[in-house]
Amino acid sequence: MVRPIIGIISNHHIISETYAVQAVGSINVSAVAEVAQGLPLLVPALPDMVRIPDLIDQCAGFVFTGGRANVHPQEYGEKPTPAHGEFDRDRDRITLPLIQALVERGQPFLGICRGFQEVNVAMGGTLYPEIRDLPGRENHRMPPDGTLEEKFALRHEVRFSQDGIFHRLIGNQTVLTNTLHGQGIKSTGPRIVVDGYASDGTPEALYIDGAPGFTLSVQWHPEWNAENDTVSRPLFEAFGIACREWVNRDSL
């Protein structure tokens, strides 16, 4: 079986305070290769060097990964504040138009954490800069200390819509997930359907209404322990199937 090429969106980092790199977490690569059964292709978020038409022609699908930098608030009509944190405008310039192009084509993608937020912004939605400051909301940020296992530990419930797409795919209406984000959805884009919420009302799972392709996106990090986690595995497996169907669409 020829594995479909799956683009994984990279993030900008500086090594040793001087050396600029584009990087992707190894757990994203493993989830794509071992669970989605795709051929991982790291996509640098450098819009002056990477053209969206080339990407969508070469890749069957895309994973919009998490990252420390947040979507710039100018992308959804708000002014930046210190609460918005760090930014990566180059990534914004790649991901937002790429998501729009994929929706129009019906090409599959999976949004994760920042990627989940990018999907909402690309479709006309807005974000809160810091959801833990909102009345009644919990702190969804990554624990500051501990091992990776402790940082990615399952920390809160997400409840899906009864008989909704996530409920049907994963097999349970209520699941446990990790949580490592500060921002969250404020208003949804016109075609965004929130299909899962944390117990404090924070949107955690969405898809795009009427889109012909796979558009599932989640606020947590399913790439962690994706091969063994009962919530993550079916998500990546279904994404991989959608990517293979995209490659074989003309023969179906």
Could you tell me the residue ranges of all domains in the chain? 5-251
Provide the pLDDT for residue 252: 54
What pLDDT tens digit does each residue of the chain (252 aa) get? 689 999 999 999 899 989 999 999 999 999 999 999 999 999 999 999 999 999 999 999 999 999 989 999 999 999 998 888 889 999 999 999 999 999 999 999 999 999 999 999 999 999 999 999 999 999 899 888 889 999 999 999 999 999 999 999 999 999 999 999 999 999 999 999 999 999 999 999 999 999 999 999 999 999 999 999 999 999 999 999 999 999 998 765
Strand partners, 19: 15
Least Cα distance to 126 among 118, 114, 138, 115 occurs for: 118
**Distance in angstroms (rounded) separating the CA atoms of residues 48 and 240:** 29
The reported pTM is 0.96
* Domain at 5-251: CATH architecture: 3-Layer(aba) Sandwich (3.40)
For 48-67, give the DSSP string: TT--HHHHHHH-SEEEE---
Q: CB of 182 within 8 A of CB of 140?
A: yes
Least Cα distance to 72 among 55, 60, 59, 90 occurs for: 90
